[in-house]
Amino acid sequence: MKIARVFPRRTKASPVDALAFYDEPGLFPVEADQVHVSVTFTYDIPRAERLAKAWERVAQVTMGGPAMGAAGGDFTPGMYLKPGYVITSRGCPNWCWFCSVPKREGDIRELPITEGYNVLDDNLLACSEEHIRKVFAMLKRQRMGAGGVDRRTRGGAAEEVARRTAGGRLGEAGFFRLRYAGRLGTAGAGGAHDAGSRLHPGFQTCPGILPDRVPG
């Protein structure tokens, strides 16, 4: 099936293949069986609605994405994110008042791991130890940066965690700290589909919960 994907905004994480579009179909539109309008940010909804209306003359249109409150299914590489950007889990066990992820995705659920160098999970460290080890082992295989983590994290905490985890040298106490941090909401790899998210040094820290409060 030929699916045209339409996005109201282009970012560095957006796909760039022949079936990815960022505007109205034009005078000579592509042939497609379906049109998916993917909306990441709520402030793009008005533009996305206008694009959806314009693309109705091409094929049946479906709107979705985090901004529309739609829960994500299994991750398909290159479909709604540029190749190299991956999602290996969805959801979060924490219910932070400022976050829409638990309401949209529910509790943590692990997905099949696909190859990529930029992990955009909601809360990777809330996953099982087995899943975390497999993700970092996958990152270690990537050519970009150090162990698959973005080059700008070289020398940072993210690279160190990836190096130790992928090499099987992170002890039980270390994994307890990581898992505890993930369950508290002190560590995560950024919001799924959020084009600005990445695996940053030290990961992200939720307000009011400091890393030095993690036991171990």
Q: What is the mean pLDDT of residues 108-113?
A: 95
Q: What is the mean pLDDT of residues 61-77?
A: 91
Q: What is the mean pLDDT of residues 120-149?
A: 81
Q: For residue 162, what pLDDT is reported?
A: 52
- Does pTM top 0.85 for this prediction? no
Torsion of CA 80, 71, 187, 128, to 10 degrees: -100
Q: For residue 142, what pLDDT is reported?
A: 83
- Please state, in angstroms and rounded to a whole number, the distance separating the CA atoms of residues 60 and 102: 30
Q: What is the mean pLDDT of residues 204-215?
A: 35
SS3 120: coil
Q: Contacts by 26-34 with C-beta closer than 8 Å and gap 24+?
A: 29/55, 29/57, 29/58, 30/4, 30/58, 31/2, 31/58, 32/2, 32/3, 32/4, 32/58, 32/59, 33/1, 33/2, 33/3, 33/59, 34/1, 34/2, 34/3, 34/4, 34/59, 34/60, 34/61, 34/62
Region of residue 77 (phi > 0: left; psi between -120 and 50: alpha; otherwise: beta): beta
- Please state, in angstroms and rounded to a whole number, the distance separating the CA atoms of residues 85 and 110: 16
- Please state, in angstroms and rounded to a whole number, the distance separating the CA atoms of residues 68 and 103: 12
Percent of the chain with pLDDT over 70: 66
Q: Which of 8-17, 19-28, 50-59, 189-198 has the lowest mean pLDDT?
A: 189-198
* Beta-ladder partners of 119: 86
Q: Is the pLDDT of residue 213 over 50?
A: no
SS3 175: helix
- Please state, in angstroms and rounded to a whole number, the distance separating the CA atoms of residues 12 and 1: 26
